[in-house]
Structure 1
Amino acid sequence: MSNKTTYALGGVAVVVVALIVFALFRWNSGDGEIRNDGYGAAHDPAVSVALDSDGAIVLGKPGVTKTVELYEDPICPACGSLERIYGQEIAQQLDEGKIAVRYRLVNFLDEQSDSKDYSTRAIAANECVAQNGDGVVYSKFHEQLFTTKQPTEGSGDLSNTDLAAIATAAGAPADVAQCITTGARLESAGNHAEAALTALKAANDGKVATPSVFINGNKIDWNDQEWVLTAAK
């Protein structure tokens, strides 16, 4: 092999490594245009939340015909990216009654947390907040849990006391905090997470990937920056 060829291949290798490093940097930094930055969580009191019998958490105004089905794991970094980039835009569409969101929370990343059960405990906390029925409180809690308060996958965790404090700061009453700290919904959360995982596999050709977004059974590319507005049309 000539020296010129060696240098050329070396140059290509350097470029490839640089691109990989750049891609990892963008991923880890959650780089992306934040849509509707400054809007915050849903704040219209008419937005309600309900806990379905299968564990799905439905957030939106009564009578909304368009529902976005969103599968998330509480410790999933990409789920955090989705919420950081699109969460506020979703919140505005909820307030305007354009869409409802059906959250299906899964726990396949439990082992990536220090406690080995963080995802399940976070799902239980979501259920405690959701069953109270206040959509504004739930929206604030969910936003915090997936953005500024989200633990790092592979290291870090939140205790039940921490989760209860986040709920209280979002406006949840004392009985909700007690539900979280005592782990009252832990067993049901595990069962619901398993049901959601089964539903995700069925909808996603047997694959488990979060976040996954569906509208009327059709999977949506959440990297398309216009997907929320398209869903709301």
Structure 2
Amino acid sequence: MSAKKVKPVKYSPEPTSSKSTFILGGLALLVIAALVIGGVLWQSNSGKARNEGYGGVQNSAVQVTVADNGVALLGRPDAATTIDLFEDPMCPYCGELEHKHGQELAQAIDDGRVAVRYHMLAFLDQLSASGDYSTRAVAALQCVAQSGDAIAYSAFHSALMSPDNQPAERGDSDHSNEDLAQMARDAGVSDEAAQCIADGTRVEQARADAEAGRQLLATTGAAGTPAVVHNGVVIDALGNENWVAELG
């Protein structure tokens, strides 16, 4: 059985105030206490991915759409159920979730067992080298989703969330818009979608959408990201290896 480590995770999901040093510190502590992952961090016995070798979504019957609030829905029209997945592109545990369950989830989407609403957040912007990486990555995903290419969206999401590609928190560098566009091209997106990414076309919209998503996450009862919600219930996606299979 896997061991569980308990330690605080110090994420800051909101920009800090500039009024005074003491207010800065107080606000940071309040934000951390209210919105970061609740402290229970899961570590598996191995990093082996479930359903290794399947890859991303492959079924041409799978569709992707993006709502006015920036939420992307990936799934077949006849999907048996739908889950809500909340992620930040820089969140390392979101990357671990993608590594462990991304291919398993892709097959479930292909098979019509589940559709996924992706709520992409950007509260880790301030821990990125550029100061806005998460927002720009959210915008990039929206550019691909609005193209309607579900297979490319799945491939790009997988690449973006891969621990191999995620920038380090408080690191010295992250991906430029052109870097993101090239990553998307490698995933098979259209030239139009890649140009949307390179130009930062949806960045301001993504900023507003990510904030709305953060507020929605706070209503779910989840402590932070990644969060998987099914029929109003938060799933222990980091602690329960079988959560995808148990969706039905």
Cα contact 2:80–2:112 (8 A) shared by 1: no
* Distance in 2 separating the partners of 1:174 and 1:29: 39
After TM superposition, give the deviation of residue 173 of structure 1 in Å: 1.2
Unaligned stretches of 5+ in structure 2? Answer: 7-40
2:147 pairs with 1:150: no
Question: Please, what is the CA RMSD of the aligned residues?
Answer: 2.1
Unaligned stretches of 5+ in structure 1? Answer: 1-18, 21-25
2:204 pairs with 1:201: no
After TM superposition, give the deviation of residue 65 of structure 1 in Å: 3.5
Aligned residue in 2 for 1:95: 110
Aligned residue in 2 for 1:109: 124
Alpha carbons of 1:35 and 1:174: their partners in 2 closer, same or farther (altered >3 Å)? Answer: same
SS at match of 2:147: coil
2:244 pairs with 1:228: yes
* Distance in 1 separating the partners of 2:229 and 2:46: 23
Aligned residue in 2 for 1:214: 229
* Distance in 1 separating the partners of 2:46 and 2:169: 17
Q: Which amino acid aligns with 2:165?
A: K
Aligned residue in 1 for 2:28: none
SS at match of 1:83: helix
Residues 167-204 of structure 1: per-residue CA shift (max 9 Å, x gap): 11111111111100111001110110011001000112
Aligned residue in 1 for 2:52: 37
Aligned residue in 1 for 2:95: 80
* Distance in 1 separating the partners of 2:111 and 2:92: 28
* Distance in 1 separating the partners of 2:45 and 2:179: 24
Q: Which amino acid aligns with 1:100?
A: A
Match of 1:53 among 58, 68, 80: 68
Residues 57-86 of structure 1: per-residue CA shift (max 9 Å, x gap): 110111214011100000000000000000
User: Quick one: percent identity of the two aligned structures?
Assistant: 45
* Distance in 2 separating the partners of 1:44 and 1:160: 29
SS at match of 1:64: coil
Larger Rg, first or second structure (1 or 2): 1
SS at match of 1:225: coil
After TM superposition, give the deviation of residue 144 of structure 1 in Å: 0.3
* Distance in 2 separating the partners of 1:126 and 1:152: 19
SS at match of 1:54: coil
Q: Which amino acid aligns with 1:150?
A: Q
* Distance in 1 separating the partners of 2:72 and 2:82: 12
Cα contact 1:121–1:183 (8 A) shared by 2: yes
After TM superposition, give the deviation of residue 152 of structure 1 in Å: 1.7
TM-score normalised by L of structure 1: 0.84
After TM superposition, give the deviation of residue 27 of structure 1 in Å: 7.3
Cα contact 1:30–1:81 (8 A) shared by 2: no
* Distance in 2 separating the partners of 1:165 and 1:72: 22
Cα contact 1:90–1:228 (8 A) shared by 2: yes
2:203 pairs with 1:186: yes
* Distance in 2 separating the partners of 1:146 and 1:73: 9
After TM superposition, give the deviation of residue 32 of structure 1 in Å: 3.4
Aligned residue in 1 for 2:184: 167
Q: Normalized per residue, which structure has more helix? A: 1
- The structure 1 segments of at least 4 consecutive aligned residues displaced by more than 3 Å after TM superposition are 26-33
Cα contact 2:63–2:75 (8 A) shared by 1: yes
